[in-house]
Structure 1
Amino acid sequence: MPGSRVPAPADTDAGLRADDTAAGGRGPWWTLWWVRVLAIYLASRVVTTVILLSFAAGEGKNAWTSAAPDYFSFANLWDGRWYEIVAGYGYPASLPVGTDGHVVENAWAFLPGYPGVVDAVMFITRQPWPVAAVLVSVLAGGGAALVFHQLMRRVGLGASTSLFAVVLFCVSPVSPLFQVAYAESLYLLLLATALLLLVERRYGWLFPVVLAMAFTRPSGLAFALALVLHVGYRWLRRRDDPYPVRERVLSASLAVFSGLAGLAWPAIAAVATGSWSAYTDTELAWRAPYIGYTHLLPFAPWFQGADWWASSMLGIPGWVGVVALVVIVALFGVLLFSPAVKRLGVDLRFWIAAYSLYLFAVFFPQSSTFRLLMPLFPLLGALALPRGRVYRVAMVVLFVALQIGWVAICWTIDGYDWSPP
């Protein structure tokens, strides 16, 4: 059952009415907020499609496609093939190992939520995997844009700011993922929904959303931490902001549930393969080309990565990379307390902090890091605050240019490519 909703500030309610003048037949259909959001999303997809097709035309023959592949073949590279393997063949009963005895890359790294949805769409539409996968991603991305807009309105941003936040969301540097065979679109739809429900304190409705998220992308532990922070904050402020017993029980139970959901997939992999470290060993295989096979030590990967990128790629002492990392982390911590980010509200900042900490604890920084930063999308609300026309145009141009850079660096294939997106 849903919890009580947080009353929206008066200016937010007024803004919502102004933002949707066509509600109840009071204005033309094109003034509806969702029409404008979808128009932005579709326009942005046209831009990104042109970018992807331009790179596809120049793509040479590779292990996955012929030269100059069609759009759907080009959109199903990299992890898209792994998801297709999951949908078609499931997961290996035993972990594959290399000649050195270490676990190698395999399907257990890819959660079943997205390929399961695509598989269902294939059954309904009778379309092949490449088409069905892109269809799911595009539709989920549009849904994520709609929910993101409502999330920005709910935390109190004005109509113009919320709409521009959607623009930045749709043209962001990694937004090509909204129309390729990756799970990010579906995950962001679920995450935006979860954050909106959290802000509105609809704890009961969050249980199925949290479970779906945990089987789409690995994030249950991060969301559990955000919920712990939310529960603690509400408890401390219970005198000023009533925190009924029913909401205490629901929210605390939800935090525990999210933590268990985050551990569910590693547990399933362990039981299915007979190896209790099946999931982590599989994930570690992806960083082996950089630093070799190592054990998972929380918070070590980013320092290992800083040393590797500095010494191996830039040819400078590794300690310089470590110092740079410490400075970046410190600046990010300061950013969370900046006036612009504080405008997003405490719950979104809890999520940003929790996910950032989770990412810092377990992931190794490499080319996929750009994609792994996508769940921090609420920060786009802070970037959308300045209202100057020159600023907004410049941000859109910059983001589109960064899209081109991301596709060039991470998506296209040049012989043996060690930089998958």
Structure 2
Amino acid sequence: MAERRLRTAASVAGTVAAVYVSARLLTTLFFWIAAELSGPTSRFGADASISSLAMGWDSQWYWVIADQGYPSALPVTDAGQVTENAWAFLPLYPWLARALGTVLGGYPAGAIVLALVAGYAASVVLFLLLRGRIGETAALWAVVFFANGPLAALFQMGYAESLGLLWLFLALWALVQRRFGWLYLLVVLMGFTRPGVLAFALLLGLYGIFRWFRRRDDPLPVSHIVHIVALGALAVIVGFAWQVIAGIATGDPSAYLETELAWRRSWVGSEEQFVPFIAFFQAAAIWFGLWGLPSALGPVLLVVLIVGAGVLLARSPQVRRLGPEIRLWGASYLVYLLAVFFPQSSIFRLLLPLTPVAAGVAVPSSRWWRIGILVLCVAGQWVWIHEMLALGDTFFRIP
């Protein structure tokens, strides 16, 4: 039995590795073309290289954290308002990348290798998470779409996304398997890698309610109740822990919130204050105005999209096959984004945690459907690389 499990594990690891490595070769080709196309108006200049693209944009913030740590005094404008700074970024990824870089010859190498390896591990866990719900073939296709997706360049950049997705996929797998003990560690790892652990807290709350109403068909032991409540409380504590740490380190209790607001004040004005669930509607009106469309249509379209997402999660047969845990995660994360995020061009990157929900596109068994989705994924990846890296010259080309 143990030997059979070992062979199965090796087969899964090898199959996913073949998918992932081929996808990374394609991304490398796209990086090379983007470096050749980069010109003097690009953020990366006319002498861009694959390595400079890989360490561009927010990768630089993580590098600053690894090299210099976090500022003890918040940088401010002449008017006294907090400006963009390292407190917006969580520490686990740059710390691990720095440790790995001591072996590999420098932080950039450590950052890229960590992103690459975490992306592969996340692909393996995604397959394991989905296999029991949609079958091996569809699960493998979901991995193909994930590894070649529009945001797949992040697996080869100094970003924390792939590490954050690894912890998330592991946490969802543990929840599906009801291995609650693992979640105590994974919640902490998620909470100090990428923002979003409060969405997982909401998921645990919804999951507990779901299990309670189904307790006659699916028994809910007291031990499960204790775990769900304790993990939900832990996720809330971890979710606010970085704000407390930033406040203590800088002497300003609002340090983290003011830092996050610094990224949106150029859009909405210097007097902007955080109000939950308002930012998406503000941004919708702003973007429609920038596109030359009536600003009032933006919030209307946003409401349509929210309703559509709700219907998709509740009624789509393909999504329903993914199971209640993944569907509840999709709902929880969307609520979290609506509550706290101001959508800019980085919104596509912020949607990556919805990957398990998006795996529903792999369920239809038509070969041409799956090939068509793969073509769209690869095309989207090139568009993203071209816009954000080859061009990278204006406010809507910031990843």
Question: Which category of TM-score, normalised to the shorter sequence, fits these structures?
Answer: over 0.9
The alignment partner of 1:272 has SS state of helix
Instruction: Report the AA paired with residue 121 of structure 1.
Output: L
Tell me how far 1:239 sits from its aligned partner: 2.0
1:213 aligns with 2:157: no
SS in structure 2 opposite 1:412?
Answer: helix
2:38–2:389 contact (8 Å) kept in structure 1: no
- Within 5 Å, which residues of 2 pair with 1:174-185? 174-185=151-162
Q: Please list every run of at least 4 consecutive aligned residues from structure 1 whose deviation after the TM superposition is greater than 6 angstroms.
A: 25-31
Task: Note if 1:34 corresponds to 2:13.
Answer: yes
- Aligned partner of 2:291 in structure 1 is 314
**Structure 1 residue runs without a partner (length 5+):** 1-21
The aligned residue for residue 106 of structure 1 is 85
> Quick one: which of 279, 282, 286 aligns to 1:301?
279
**Cα distance, 1:30 vs. partner?**
11
Aligned equivalents of 1:78 and 1:383: distance in 2? 31
Q: Supply the distance in 1 between the matched residues of 2:395 and 2:301 (Cα, whole angstroms).
A: 26
Displacement of 1:234 in angstroms is 1.3
Shift in alpha-carbon separation, 1:413–1:282, aligned structure 2, 3 A: farther
Matched, 1:283 2:260: yes
| Residue 108 to residue 169, structure 1, CA distance change in 2 (3 Å) | same
Distance 1:27 1:235 in 2: 37
Classify 1:244/1:30 alpha carbon distance in 2 versus 1 (closer, same or farther; 3 Å).
closer
Contact 2:87–2:256 (CA under 8 A) maintained in structure 1: yes
Q: How many Å apart are 1:393 and its aligned residue?
A: 1.1
| Distance in 2, Cα, partners of 1:223 & 1:26 | 31
Q: Would you say the 8 A contact 1:51–1:404 is kept in 2?
A: yes
Q: Which residue of 1 aligns with 2:382?
A: 404
Tell me how large the CA RMSD over aligned residues is.
Answer: 2.0
**1:119-158 counterparts in 2 under 5 A?**
119-125=98-104, 127-154=105-132, 156-158=133-135
Aligned to 2:354: 376
1:50 partner amino acid: L
2:210 pairs, out of 233, 236, 247, with 233
Q: Work out whether residues 37 and 145 of structure 1, in 8 Å CA contact, stay in contact via their aligned partners in 2.
A: yes
Aligned residues: 397
Distance 1:88 1:100 in 2: 29
Q: Compared with structure 1, are the counterparts of its residues 100 and 413 closer, same or farther at alpha carbon in structure 2 (3 Å cutoff)?
A: farther
The residue that corresponds to 2:28 in the other structure is 49
Paired amino acid for 2:96: V
Q: How big is each residue's C-alpha offset from its partner over 1:155-194, in whole Å with a ceiling of 9 and x where there is no partner? A: x211111110111111111111011000001000110000
Q: 1:119: Cα distance to partner?
A: 0.8
- Unmatched 5+ stretches in structure 2: none
What residue number does 2:95 align with? 116
Q: Partner letter of residue 137 of structure 1? A: A
Deviation at 1:222, TM superposition (A): 0.5
Q: Return the alpha-carbon distance in structure 2 between the equivalents of residues 149 and 104 of structure 1.
A: 41
Tell me which residue corresponds to 1:244: 221
Cα deviation, residue 32, structure 1: 1.4
Per-residue displacement from partner, 1:236-289 (whole Å, max 9, x unpaired)?
Answer: 222221111112111210010011011110110111111111111111111122
Q: Which moved further from structure 2: 283-292 or 24-33?
A: 24-33
Which of the residues 177, 181, 204 maps onto 2:181? 204
Question: Is the 8 Å Cα contact of residues 225 and 255 (structure 1) preserved in structure 2?
Answer: yes
Does 2:34 align with 1:60?
no
Tell me the alpha carbon deviations over residues 59-106 of structure 1, each in whole angstroms, 9 at most, x when there is no partner: 235797553322222100000000000000001111111122211100
Aligned to 1:5: none
1:151 deviates by 0.1
Which amino acid in the other structure matches residue 354 of structure 1?
A: S
User: 1:322 is aligned with what amino acid?
Assistant: P
Matched, 1:356 2:334: yes
Contact 1:187 1:217 in 2 (8 A): yes
Of the three residues 150, 154, 166, the one matched with 2:143 is 166
Which piece of structure 1 moves more, 379-388 or 31-40? 31-40
Distance in 2 of aligned mates of 1:271 and 1:29 = 49
1:417 shift after superposition: 4.7
Specify the code of the residue in structure 2 equivalent to 1:33: V
Distance 1:256 1:91 in 2: 27
Change (3 A) 1:26 1:273: closer
1:10 aligns to what?
none
Q: Which is worse superposed, 57-66 or 71-80? A: 57-66
Aligned position for 2:325: 347
**Percent identity between the two aligned chains:** 43
2:42 maps to 1:80: no
Q: CA shift at 1:124, angstroms?
A: 2.7
Give, in angstroms, the shift of residue 27 of structure 1.
12
Structure 2 partner of 1:18: none
Change over 3 Å in CA distance of 1:165–1:414 after alignment to 2: closer
Q: TM-score, normalised by structure 1?
A: 0.90
Kept in 2, the 8 Å contact 1:23–1:32? The answer is no
Letter in 2 for 1:222: A
Distance 1:365 1:259 in 2: 24
- Whole-Å separation in 1 of the counterparts to 2:262 and 2:130: 38
Deviation at 1:205, TM superposition (A): 1.0
Letter in 1 for 2:384: W
